[in-house]
Structure 1
């Protein structure tokens, strides 16, 4: 799966921007300084080559998720696991190996973005809600 298409979709969200606070190869996608996704290559310079798996060749994305849905997605897709270096109750890591269809990935991204918007103060959300339509911000989701 093309990680650049995923990156483009992440950055297409209203006022989304990319930061690199952890490592130069780990992109953190934010809105209003709040993280809604990370995108990174799977292999790390510190990885033990003897522990390599086929999934080490794929990019990974971390996305915020409702705790119930997070578990359901892990049950449905082998490439969806508990969030790596994240709160495992609220974040999933998706291995971009092609198992999860692009439409489902976009829905997960929209969901993560909407959950982060929901956690903002009314004042933070208001500036977004006056500049963008509800559909642009929340898509088909009802998190407002």
Structure 2
């Protein structure tokens, strides 16, 4: 898939929007509209397209061990973010699952209503 197709895929997720917060337009940031948290970042480096996604630490390690093209997050917290070389050895469906997982763990937290059990 192309960069634009990956952005389009991310934008199919409810509440997602595309942002370019850096001076470098090479970085496309996908965020939650309601809390502005980042769940995905697309960028090119050395002529290749990469995706950064947030991940639970144990799952991040598992994915890094399973795929050569999943590495600790470039310019991100290495424990909680992975970088994926798009078009590499990671199957398309696995990358889509990584995006969905990142979206879920960065989504706004549900507030408890008054009177709810603690």
TM-score (norm. length: structure 1): 0.71
What is the root-mean-square deviation in Å for CA atoms of aligned residues?
Answer: 1.3
Cα displacement (A) at 1:29? 0.3
Q: Aligned pairs, how many?
A: 108
Please list every run of 5 or more consecutive structure 1 residues that lacks an aligned counterpart in the other structure.
43-55, 124-144
Please list every run of 5 or more consecutive structure 2 residues that lacks an aligned counterpart in the other structure.
112-118
Cα displacement (A) at 1:99? 1.4
Show the counterpart of 1:122: 110
For the pair 1:63 / 2:53, whether they are aligned, the reply is yes
1:97 alignment partner, SS class: coil
Equivalent position to 1:93, from 65, 83, 108:
83
For the pair 1:4 / 2:7, whether they are aligned, the reply is no
Query: 1:109-135 CA deviation, whole Å, 9 max, x = no partner?
Result: 000000011xx2325xxxxxxxxxxxx
Task: Output the CA distance in 2 between the equivalents of 1:57 and 1:79.
Answer: 15
Cα displacement (A) at 1:85? 0.7
Contact 1:79–1:97 (CA<8 Å) still a contact in 2? no
Task: Output the CA distance in 2 between the equivalents of 1:90 and 1:74.
Answer: 12
More strand by proportion, 1 or 2?
A: 2
Cα displacement (A) at 1:57? 2.5
TM-score (norm. length: structure 2): 0.85
Q: Which consecutive segments of 4 or more residues in structure 1 shift more than 3 A?
A: none
